[in-house]
Copies of this chain bind each other. A is one copy, B any other.
């Protein structure tokens, strides 16, 4: 079965082999305080830096999911005021987490299926501590173009800025000189089974967490940023992590680096254009947004007159599966992944059957 689903998704071609090697090397049994583990962490760190152009100003930590990181960001970086750009169910949940944690978040929400117009003219209060972007909304298929995110940094020197790049990695080119934190999980574009989150933070984030802690604020107990930072110095983690997945992530990042990130980006864009043209030409499908620049390059979402479940019946004999719409859009929308694990001929094959 070829998974065109948006995550969990098709595994990267080398994924299973790396897991097998991990078993052969008994990585599932090694201590996370051993030299063997430190080397694995360091290797994954180096390969992710190369792949995603992460500068030395930022550290890379491992959690179990991106969902978990929403909470950790809000606990460690926000006393009261976070600001949330919401263009779908996942960015909405990030905002909901802030409410559950009894913060005072501000919601800036667009209509279903649309993106943010004139993003950098939107008013954000001076007291805002954290501005939250969901760069690629997996539910609605609406992105925030990287340059628009980046333009926020000079405007808000008092606020930290973070972006959820869960389903955009490795395609997305985040400019980390304008981004304090970014995070993703591995079961999307990295083509791995779920169970690992990656959290990238700079020193400003560490300082903010420290400041909140010193002021007697509750920044949570598990995964405090200071614990990550302390352990990171020797490439260790605060508690036992998903060691195997950290190893495999480093190996897949290495494979992608060898393949070439520019090539991956170009192929993603070429496949996107093919998908885009297909949806535009087909009577059964249409985009809610007419702004092509707002459409996700990696997770395409379109309204559909046929439920995904019906399309999947047709696809099943061909051993292919796409994703339904998210939540209440289950039967009205289809979602198709455009991750590195999907090749152009496979995509064309899918579209010819659809």
Nearest to A22 among chain B residues (CB) is B193
Point out the residues of chain B lying under 8 angstroms from A329, CB to CB. Answer: none
A157 CB–B CB distance under 8 Å: no
Question: Chain A, 47-90, contact with B by CB distance < 8 Å: what is the 0/1 string?
Answer: 00000000000000001110110110010000000000000000
A193 to chain B, nearest CB (A): 3
Nearest to A20 among chain B residues (CB) is B20
Complex contact A323–B242 (CB within 8 A): no
Complex contact A221–B15 (CB within 8 A): no
Complex contact A242–B31 (CB within 8 A): no
Q: A8-B32, A193-B243, A195-B242 are in contact. Are A71 and B222 (CB under 8 A)?
A: yes
Point out the residues of chain B lying under 8 angstroms from A98, CB to CB. Answer: 221
Nearest to A101 among chain B residues (CB) is B221
Complex contact A64–B64 (CB within 8 A): yes
Complex contact B240–A187 (CB within 8 A): yes
Point out the residues of chain B lying under 8 angstroms from A195, CB to CB. Answer: 64, 195-196, 241-245
> Which of B15, B28, B242 touches A64 (beta carbons < 8 Å)?
B242
> Which of B29, B222, B239, B242 touches A10 (beta carbons < 8 Å)?
B29
Count of chain copies: 2
Complex contact B194–A242 (CB within 8 A): yes
Q: Which of A1-30 contact B (CB under 8 A)?
A: 1, 3, 5, 7-11, 15-16, 19-20, 23, 26-30
CA distance A98 to B63 in the complex (A): 21
A128 to chain B, nearest CB (A): 19
A107 to chain B, nearest CB (A): 15
Nearest to A217 among chain B residues (CB) is B102
A96 CB–B CB distance under 8 Å: yes
A338 CB–B CB distance under 8 Å: no
Q: A29-B11, A97-B222, A101-B218 are in contact. Are A242 and B23 (CB under 8 A)?
A: no
A91 to chain B, nearest CB (A): 14
CA distance A100 to B216 in the complex (A): 10
Most buried by B among A1, A16, A221: A221
Point out the residues of chain B lying under 8 angstroms from A9, CB to CB. Answer: 29
A335 to chain B, nearest CB (A): 11
Complex contact B240–A67 (CB within 8 A): yes
> Which of B8, B28, B74, B96 touches A8 (beta carbons < 8 Å)?
B28
Nearest to A28 among chain B residues (CB) is B193
A274 CB–B CB distance under 8 Å: no
Most buried by B among A7, A26, A68, A194: A194
CA distance A70 to B220 in the complex (A): 11
Task: Given contacts A195-B195, A218-B218, list 17 more A-B pairs with CB under 8 A.
Answer: A3-B29, A5-B31, A9-B29, A11-B29, A19-B19, A28-B192, A67-B240, A71-B222, A97-B222, A98-B221, A100-B221, A101-B220, A102-B218, A187-B240, A193-B244, A195-B242, A195-B243
7 A-B residue pairings within 8 Å (CB atoms): A8-B240, A11-B26, A64-B65, A70-B221, A101-B218, A101-B221, A185-B240
